[in-house]
Amino acid sequence: MKIALCTIATGKDPIYFESVKRYLPYNREYFMNGRNVDFLLFTDQSEAIDGVQSHPYQGILWPYSPMLKNNVIGEHFDQFNLWDQYDYIYFIDADFAIGDYYDFFQHEFVMINVSWGEELGGGGFYGGKSSIFRKLYETYREEIAIICNNKLSVPLHLDEFYLGLFRKSHSEHIHMISMDDEHTLFFYDSEDLDTRIKAEGRRKLFMFPQKTRGRANTVTITHPNWKQESVINLKEGYLFIVYHHDIGHLLKITDRYYRILWLKHPSSREILDVETNTIICN
């Protein structure tokens, strides 16, 4: 039995790449557990990690990065004819870890049942038989590519929305594991993980870090009516307001000022000042 465990770590802030290194020993012990596992990392970092196969990937910023996960993996497997080389394929977030022994391979496909949506599939960890992972990738590949390539509006729960659709349509093949306090160690990414594990008194299957300084590669945008965590991507030409879930295409006026063409509010006349990260209504 040959297994692939895939993850993605990109962005100017190397926090996700550092997370891969931090959690790799846990994944080796509790997920690998003596099995034949290839760790595949898709990254824009040049540093090598011992025992990890790095594959170059420049990535794209939130909110499109999580939606493209399966496309990135699937296209790599397509290009190098890898589907038949693996019996099982899994995805794990760079800042997520397996913290206890569990026979994931007794099930055809595993997803996490998250508390923030009854019909979603948790995006931190999922996978199973290669044929099912391939079906997941191929079912939504073109739809997701169109959304991301054209910087269109995204569904509320991003990748977890599509995992939820797949969960519903292939329920007979999918085993759900609850991501509750019983199964999950929630901790802050600034904490010493081994100390927290000892304090809990026992190991838990999933280890999920809460971010102490917010999502990486984001900024705070100030609008006359609100202030929100946001992503400014001048290279791709868009602005994403994380909690409003609104996207605006950016039309350059000067190096400092950009007209915002909001997808949800096309009649709004607003300008983004990229030096002060403020929005001006005019």
Q: Is 101 exposed, middle or buried (0-12, 13-18, 19+ CB in 10 A)?
A: exposed
The rounded percent of the chain whose pLDDT value lies above 70 is: 100
* 67, 111, 134, 141, 280 from 225: Cα distances, Å: 29, 39, 45, 37, 11
Sign of CA dihedral 122, 15, 70, 229: positive
Report which of 197, 11, 33, 23 is spatially closest to residue 105, judged by C-alpha positions.
33
Provide the pLDDT for residue 211.
Answer: 78
The rounded percent of the chain whose pLDDT value lies above 90 is: 78
Q: Which parts of 151-229 fold into alpha helices (H)?
A: 159-169, 193-200
Q: 127 and 90 in contact (C-beta within 8 Å)?
A: yes
The H or E element that residue 21 is part of is helix 15-26
Other beta carbons within 10 angstroms of residue 94's beta carbon come to 23
**What confidence category does residue 98 fall into, taking pLDDT thresholds of 50, 70 and 90?**
very high
Question: Poorest-confidence range of 91-95, 99-103, 112-116?
Answer: 112-116
Token representation of residue 4: 């692939």
Provide the pLDDT for residue 180.
Answer: 87
Average pLDDT over residues 120-128: 95
Q: How does pLDDT run across 181-190, given as a tens digit for each residue?
A: 889 999 888 8
Provide the pLDDT for residue 258.
Answer: 97
Average pLDDT over residues 227-231: 94
Average pLDDT over residues 155-162: 94
Task: Provide the mean pLDDT of the chain.
Answer: 93
**What confidence category does residue 217 fall into, taking pLDDT thresholds of 50, 70 and 90?**
confident
Question: Which residues lie closer than 8 Å to 236 by C-beta, 6 or more apart?
Answer: 60, 61, 151
* 64, 161, 174, 277 from 154: Cα distances, Å: 8, 10, 25, 23
Average pLDDT over residues 105-115: 94
**What confidence category does residue 13 fall into, taking pLDDT thresholds of 50, 70 and 90?**
confident
Q: What are phi and psi of 156, to 5 degrees?
A: -55, -45
Provide the pLDDT for residue 122.
Answer: 92
